[in-house]
């Protein structure tokens, strides 16, 4: 089931709450008005009854009734609101001696006095009070139809609540207009997002956006910025990878063709197969490096750092042992000064091992025969020094670029080793520093 929009929910909420408040106010107003009207007319009935009780009813005659009836009829509008009040006077024998010629003539005799009662007269409910006369020889009954009181209460409540109802409607219309106006920028923003080109990752406009929604828009802009940076990296990575893979694949194809055409020349064929084998190894190494770099880029983008203690000493010692046979073939001496005081105490041990392996691999690969490699892990610093090796000052700043290889380089490689090490360093809030020292070429891993 589709959920209602926030705008519509707010309008429904305010409408329901306003109607409930107005209804409660109307009910309370009706009750209070009814109590006041009852109190007023009860007092009026008692006052009239007191006046009638003080009159002299002993000398009253039927002629007096006729005369008063005639006088009342001659009064203008005397028949209006005939249910306002009624009265009748009875003697102790229950005979009616006088009435108002309208409703009182229908009153019934009752000896009970001093209290209000509700009685049904000609199908209508009346509120009647009976009081004894001053000479205690008569009983005066004064009554009023309750529908008349209800009509007065309804009229008063209507006159009082109708302006409030009109004001409430105007208020709700104003609230609807205000809510619609405030949500208009979001509606426009939604339309822009629907019609936006998928390649358009430019920031969303933040002008005329409500303060409560602004953090969401800013977060979306940050996400768009991250997505644009990630897509840019991926496009660059794919472009560079395709470029770098083209050359070794072309070389492999050439060597394969040479091997196929050299069936009668075993020596040429063997040479071609050897070169083909080396080319396959180089391509495999390149693919491995590309996959490693892609994984690091992805981890860096997600900030999925593994917060584990890094055993710099044990990791460095193990990697040095792995490269000892290759170093011995070139008569290279590897010395180490190791401790666990590396540039980062916590992080991703697997990535840190890859960083160390790339640095030591480069040192062994690009050092000349009979060179000396020194590995330091101490004092919050990691450093690998290649003796007998110097790097041109102009290219020091480019060594960590992807696929960068200095001109004239004879060693096989992909140009990704130091780029991977640089990304791992950034991943651990560190940096790579390249420097030519008296001892030789130095690569250091330092905290930022």
Whether pLDDT at 208 is above 90: no
In CATH, the number for domain 6-156 is 3.30.450
pLDDT of 242 reads: 65
- Identify the band that residue 153 occupies on the pLDDT scale cut at 50, 70 and 90: very high
Domain ranges of the chain: 6-156, 198-304, 308-447
Residues contacting residue 437 through CB under 8 Å, at least 6 positions apart: 385
Whether pLDDT at 47 is above 70: yes
Ranking 33-47, 121-135, 223-237, 295-309 by mean pLDDT, the lowest is 295-309
CA-CA distance, 277 to 75, in Å (whole number)? 131
Whether pLDDT at 77 is above 80: no
- Identify the band that residue 306 occupies on the pLDDT scale cut at 50, 70 and 90: low
Cα–Cα distance list, 435 to 3, 402, 428, 443, 444 (Å): 63, 19, 21, 7, 8
| Candidate ranges 25-29, 265-269, 317-321, 425-429; pick with highest mean pLDDT | 25-29
Site of tokens 């049904």: 120
Ranking 62-66, 104-108, 199-203, 238-242 by mean pLDDT, the lowest is 238-242
State mean pLDDT over 152-160: 90
What is 308-447's CATH number, 3.20.20.70, 1.20.1250.20, 3.30.565.10, 2.60.40.10?
3.30.565.10
Residue bearing the bigger pLDDT, 104 or 408? 104
For the whole model, what pTM was predicted?
0.48
**pLDDT averaged over the chain?**
81
Ranking 226-235, 307-316, 412-421 by mean pLDDT, the lowest is 412-421
- State phi, psi for 411 to the nearest 5 degrees: -75, 140
- Identify the band that residue 226 occupies on the pLDDT scale cut at 50, 70 and 90: confident
Angle (CA) 372 377 382, round 5°: 85
CA-CA distance, 386 to 388, in Å (whole number)? 7
pLDDT of 28 reads: 92
Query: In the numeric block, which tokens belong to residue 259?
Result: 């091997």
- Identify the band that residue 410 occupies on the pLDDT scale cut at 50, 70 and 90: low
Ranking 149-158, 339-348, 374-383, 416-425 by mean pLDDT, the lowest is 416-425
Ranking 128-142, 157-171, 271-285, 385-399 by mean pLDDT, the lowest is 271-285
Whether pLDDT at 139 is above 90: yes
Range 360-397 burial, b when 16+ CB lie within 10 A, else e: bbbbbebbeeebbbbbbbeeebbbbbbbebebeeeeee
């Amino acid at each position: 089931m589709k959920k209602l929009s926030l705008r519509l929910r707010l309008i429904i909420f305010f409408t329901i709450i306003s109607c409930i408040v107005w209804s409660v106010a109307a009910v309370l107003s009706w009750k209070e008005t009814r109590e006041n009207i009852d109190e007023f007319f009860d007092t009026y009935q008692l006052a009239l009854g007191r006046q009638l009780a003080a009159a002299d009813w002993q000398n009253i005659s039927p002629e007096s009734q006729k005369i008063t009836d005639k006088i009342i009829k001659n009064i203008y509008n005397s028949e209006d609101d005939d249910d306002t009040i009624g009265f009748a006077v009875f003697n102790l024998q229950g005979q009616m001696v006088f009435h108002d010629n309208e409703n009182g003539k229908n009153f019934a005799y009752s000896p009970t006095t001093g209290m209000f009662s509700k009685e049904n007269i000609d199908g209508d409910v009346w509120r009647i009070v009976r009081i004894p006369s001053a000479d205690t020889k008569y009983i005066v009954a004064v009554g009023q139809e309750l529908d008349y009181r209800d009509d007065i209460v309804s009229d008063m409540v209507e006159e009082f609540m109708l302006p409030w109802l009109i004001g409430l409607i105007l208020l709700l219309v104003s609230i609807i207009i205000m809510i619609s106006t405030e949500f208009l920028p979001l509606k426009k923003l939604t339309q822009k997002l629907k019609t936006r080109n998928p390649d358009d990752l430019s920031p969303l406009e933040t002008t005329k956006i409500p303060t409560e929604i602004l953090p969401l828009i800013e977060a979306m802009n940050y996400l768009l910025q991250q997505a644009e940076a990630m897509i840019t990296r991926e496009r660059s990575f794919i472009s560079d990878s395709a470029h770098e893979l083209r050359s070794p694949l072309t070389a492999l194809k050439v060597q394969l063709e040479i091997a196929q055409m050299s069936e009668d020349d075993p020596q040429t064929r063997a040479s071609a197969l050897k070169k083909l084998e080396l080319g396959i190894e180089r391509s495999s190494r390149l693919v491995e490096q590309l996959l490693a770099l892609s994984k690091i880029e992805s981890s860096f983008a997600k900030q999925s750092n593994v917060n584990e203690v890094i055993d710099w000493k044990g990791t460095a010692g193990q990697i040095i042992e792995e490269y000892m046979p290759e170093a011995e073939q070139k008569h290279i001496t590897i010395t180490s000064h190791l401790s666990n005081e590396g540039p980062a105490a916590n992080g991703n041990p697997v990535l840190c091992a890859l960083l160390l392996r790339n640095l030591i691999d480069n040192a062994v690969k690009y050092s000349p025969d009979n060179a000396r490699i020194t590995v330091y892990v101490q004092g919050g610093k990691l450093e690998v020094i290649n003796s007998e090796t110097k790097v041109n000052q102009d290219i020091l700043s480019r060594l960590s670029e992807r696929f960068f290889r200095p001109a004239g380089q004879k060693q096989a490689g992909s140009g990704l080793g130091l780029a991977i090490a640089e990304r791992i360093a950034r991943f651990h809030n560190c940096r790579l520093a390249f420097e030519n020292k008296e001892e030789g070429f130095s690569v250091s891993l330092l905290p930022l």
